[in-house]
Chain A
Amino acid sequence: MFKKFIKNARAKSPWIMHFDCGSCNGCDIETLACLTPLYDVERFGIINVGNPKHADVLLVTGTVNHRNKAVLKNLYDQMPEPKAVVAIGACGLSGGVFRDCYNVVGGVDKVIPVDVYVPGCPAKPEAIIDGVVRALAKFEEKKAG
C-alpha cells in the first residue's frame, strides 16, 4: 500500500529542471510560460527547481554541442533515480537547422537517454505540458535504483 502511495505521489509531484543547451531562447520562453499563472502547471505539483539533486524530470532545449554535452551528462548523472528526460523543440530532437554545423553533436539522445520528444520550433506550451505528462507516465513506472 505504501509503495502504491509513493507511485501515485510521483505523478503528483514532478519537480522539473530546465537545461538550455544553447537554444535561441524560443523554447525556453515557451517552457517557462507553462509555469506562469496562465498555464499554471504548479496546480499539478510541478515545480521548477534549479538543483539536479532535487529534480525528477529534466527538460532539455536547444542543440547539444561539443562544449555543453559534458555539462548535460553531468546534470543527468546528478539526478537521483528514478528520473525522466524530455527533449524539447526541433533542436533538442535532432539539432534542428544547426544539425550540420561542425560543433553540433545532434539531438539530446546522443548524450543521454530521452523518454519523450516534444517537436516544434518553438514547441507550444500545450505540447510541452503534454510531453511532461507523457514523461510522468513513464516516470511513474520506473523503479528506484
Chain B
Amino acid sequence: MQSRQGPPILQAFYDVAKLMGKDQMLSNRWQILCCWVYLVAAALAVGMFFARADLLLIFFVQAAGAVFLVMGALSVKSPYSQVGAQRELVQILTYEPLLILVFVGMYLVVGSFDVGDILAYQTPLLRKLPLMFIVLSYALTIKLRKSPFDFSTSHHGHQELVKGVMTEYSGPALGLIEMAHWYETVLILGVCSLFWATSWIWMAVLLVATYFAELVIDNTMARMTWRWMLKYVWSIGLALTFINFIWLHAG
C-alpha cells in the first residue's frame, strides 16, 4: 500500500498556489476575518519565536489564532463544520496544557521563559527533560492534525467529516488556512529545536528524526475517538510530566 510513488515534495505549494487562483466563495464575512486572524496570529507567533520573545506570549498568540479558526468554523450552519469545530476545540483543550507544561519544564531548568535565554543555556535540554520531549511530540501530533489525532479534519477530504473545520472554506480562504498551518508546524518544530539548541547538527538531526517519526506515526495509525485522546494523552502526558519534574527536582 505504501510502496506507491506518491505526490512530489512541492505538492503543498502547488495546492496553495492553485487555491489562491480560485474564486472566493464564502458563506459569510465573518469567515474572512477568522482565516486572516488565524494566519496573522500563526505568522506573528513564528516571528516572535525567531525574535526570541517570551514563550508564554508566543503561546497565547498562537492560541488566539487557533480559537479564531474554531470560531470561523462555528459561524456556519453546516453540520460538518460544526462537528469539526467542536472536535478542534477538544484538540486545543488537549494539547494546550501539555504545551504549557513543556514551557514550565524549560523554565524549571533554565530559569526563564525567554527563547534567547533558553538558547543560551549550555547543556542540551533533552538531557534534563527527555520525557517532556515525548509530551511535546504528543502536542505536535495533535497540532499537525495527524493520525491518530486527526478527527477535526478527518485528514482525507472524502471521509466522514469531509475536512471538518475546513469544510466551509474554499479557494483563497482555504489557502490562507493552509499557510497558517505551515507556520504552526514551523513554530512547534522550533519549540522542539530548543531541546538541543547547543549544536546545529544535533538540532537538525533531532528535527528531521522528529518529523520523520511524525510521518511514520501518521501512516501507521488509525484514527481514534476524542474521548480516547483526552484520556490517553492527558494521563500519559501528565504522568510523564510528573516523573520528569520529580527527577528534575531530585537531580
Contacts and interface: CB of A to CB of B under 8 A. Distances in A.
Whether chain B is bound by chain A comes out as yes
Range for the number of chain A residues in contact with chain B? 20 to 34
B76 to A, nearest CB: 11
A53 B25 contact: yes
A77 B25 CA distance: 11
A124 B241 CA distance: 56
A138 interface: no
B13 A9 contact: yes
Contacts of B8: 12, 43, 45
A125 B168 CA distance: 31
Contacts of A82: 21-23
A51 B167 contact: yes
A6 B170 contact: no
B15 interface: yes
Interface residues of B, number: 32
Contacts of A145: 23
Contacts of B14: 8-9, 12-13, 45
A48 B157 contact: yes
B181 to A, nearest CB: 15
B contact face: mostly helix, strand, loop, or mixed:
loop
Interface in A113-140: none
B227 interface: no
B159 interface: yes
Contacts of B157: 15, 47-51, 54
Contacts of B63: none
Nearest to A78: B25
Contacts of A37: 1, 3-4
A7 B7 contact: no
Residue from the set A12, A42, A53, A81 with the largest chain B CB neighbour count within 10 Å: A53
A40 B22 CA distance: 26
Interface of A: 3, 5-10, 12-13, 15, 37, 40, 42-45, 47-51, 53-54, 56, 78, 80-82, 144-145
Interface of B: 1, 3-8, 11, 13-15, 17-18, 20-25, 156-159, 162-163, 166-171, 174
**Top 4 closest pairs, chain A to chain B, by CB:** A9-B17, A49-B157, A53-B170, A6-B21
Given A13-B14, A45-B7, A47-B157, 10 more contacts: A6-B17, A12-B11, A13-B17, A43-B6, A47-B156, A48-B158, A50-B162, A53-B169, A56-B18, A82-B22
